[in-house]
Structure 1
Amino acid sequence: MTALLDVSDLHAAYGAAEVLFGMGFTVARGEVVTLMGRNGMGKTTTIHTMMGMMKASAGRVVFDGQDLSGQPAYRIAQAGLGLVPEGRQIFPTLSVEENLVATAANRFGAKPGWSLDRVYGFFPRLKERRSNMGNQLSGGEQQMLAIGRALMTNPKLLILDEATEGLAPLIRAEIWACLDRLKGEGQSILVIDKNVDALEKLADRHVIVEKGQVAWSGTSSELAADPTLRERYLSV
């Protein structure tokens, strides 16, 4: 498969404290890849650095053949990366519908493109609440809205940071079902989450992050075949 995203030798620091030490991985077109690891190991920092929200001190981010290294965040988003950030970060004083259309775009002529009707088809609860303000939604509804908002940008790569953190089990199951459906439609996805069992079922490949670098990478079957990996890198 052709690499859609190619991150190589990525370094980043908070002041004098370096936190990424040569991160590198790829996501192919139509592939679902995870970043896994304990808290504080550099997963979110990797995403922020890729997205231009944090400056890289070295390394390259190549997306769909375009070198995005050093580009501002809005340019990187316009290149086709859609982020569902940790903590959702929806617009609290805009309605559901206003949140969805605020950053909507179809820069690459995707067919079928994402529209309000299509997002509402994925998340009927959002249609029911379309006139409610963002701060009137439950946590699960806010996460659905954050995913819908990212999809409305018609991303080539959908990135989810802590996809189901803090959500009730039924809502988590709904989010995983949505991501599985998106995968079936050929959507490329990069996802961070702590639910290893769900990630094993959903993803094609996994990248385990330990202290700002890749400690292990492999397929779901390879991860399942080595139970020591969970204890070594993922257990709290």
Structure 2
Amino acid sequence: MLDVAGLESAYGDSQILFGIDFRVKEGEVVTLLGRNGMGKTTTVKSIFGLVKPRAGSVKINGQNLTGADPHRIALAGLGYVPEGRQVFPTLNVEENLRATARPGKWTLQRIYELFPRLEERRRNMGNQLSGGEQQMLAIGRALMTNPKLVVLDEATEGLAPLIRADIWACLERLKSEGEAILVIDKNVDALTKFADRHVVIEKGRVVWTGTTEQILATPDVKDRFLHV
């Protein structure tokens, strides 16, 4: 599905990634873990062509799309829920959902079934929504592209506990329906309840990777690489 190999990226003269390697298989949930500023978001932006890699490769279903423009990455089957949500502020909920929609199993009605609150607020503008509602909308918008893999950067950052629970329930449902997911979040305990594998990044390098069973059996991973 997604194969990232030897990925190196920089902002100007400041190199951020130093050979990132990981894979996401069809129907698999993989997490990117690490403290703030370690390169997780840069990894995602490099996958989506928002940052042009200096070296390495990004392959989607075997097609080399390293550094391709974001619309080509989307057409190849990746849906993006960016950090900060980035919903269209002057479009209403329904317009946001339809803006980048592609035919497939995820329809407007299915999004409203997944997030009933969005149907209630369908005529409200993006900038009239709460943070939690904007995150639901960002996820719904990504699903409306009918992707093969959904990528979420900071899935629940800054959200109230009840909204976080709604987002986790959403991701668990997506997994049960066979969606592949790559997710960044700081809530390791919640992630280990449904994720298959975990990739830990420290200073732009992969320093640990393993299954949920392995990370639960290796508590020093959290102590060494995840705690502030």
Structure 2 length normalisation: TM-score? 0.99
- Other-structure match for 1:129: 121
Deviation of 1:78 after TM superposition, in Å, equals: 1.1
3-state SS of paired residue (1:29): coil
- Please tell me whether the aligned partners of residues 47 and 67 of structure 2 are also in contact (alpha carbons under 8 angstroms): no
CA distance in 1, matches of 2:213, 2:136: 29
- Other-structure match for 1:28: 25
Deviation of 1:16 after TM superposition, in Å, equals: 1.1
Question: Aligned runs of 1:33-182 on 2, under 5 Å?
Answer: 33-106=30-103, 110=104, 113-182=105-174
CA deviation map 1:129-182 (0-9, x unaligned): 000001111100000000000000000000000000000000000000000000
- Other-structure match for 2:190: 198
* Number of equivalences: 228
Structure 2: give runs of 5+ residues left out of the alignment: none
- Please tell me whether the aligned partners of residues 151 and 181 of structure 2 are also in contact (alpha carbons under 8 angstroms): yes
CA distance in 1, matches of 2:67, 2:219: 39
The amino acid that maps onto 1:208 is V
**Which stretches of structure 1, 4 residues or more, deviate above 4 A after TM superposition?**
none
The amino acid that maps onto 2:125 is M
- Please tell me whether the aligned partners of residues 31 and 195 of structure 2 are also in contact (alpha carbons under 8 angstroms): yes
CA distance in 1, matches of 2:182, 2:225: 19
CA deviation map 1:174-221 (0-9, x unaligned): 000000000000000000000000011120000000000100000111
CA distance in 2, matches of 1:69, 1:231: 34
Deviation of 1:70 after TM superposition, in Å, equals: 2.6
The amino acid that maps onto 1:65 is G
CA distance in 2, matches of 1:151, 1:101: 11
3-state SS of paired residue (2:141): helix
The amino acid that maps onto 2:68 is Q
The amino acid that maps onto 1:170 is L
Question: Aligned runs of 1:199-218 on 2, under 5 Å?
Answer: 199-218=191-210
Question: Aligned runs of 1:4-23 on 2, under 5 Å?
Answer: 4-23=1-20
Cα RMSD of the aligned pairs, angstroms, is 0.6
CA distance in 1, matches of 2:21, 2:37: 18
* Identity over aligned pairs, percent: 67
CA deviation map 1:99-153 (0-9, x unaligned): 00000013xxx4xx11110000000000000000011111000000000000000
Structure 1 length normalisation: TM-score? 0.96
Structure 1: give runs of 5+ residues left out of the alignment: none
CA distance in 1, matches of 2:117, 2:90: 19
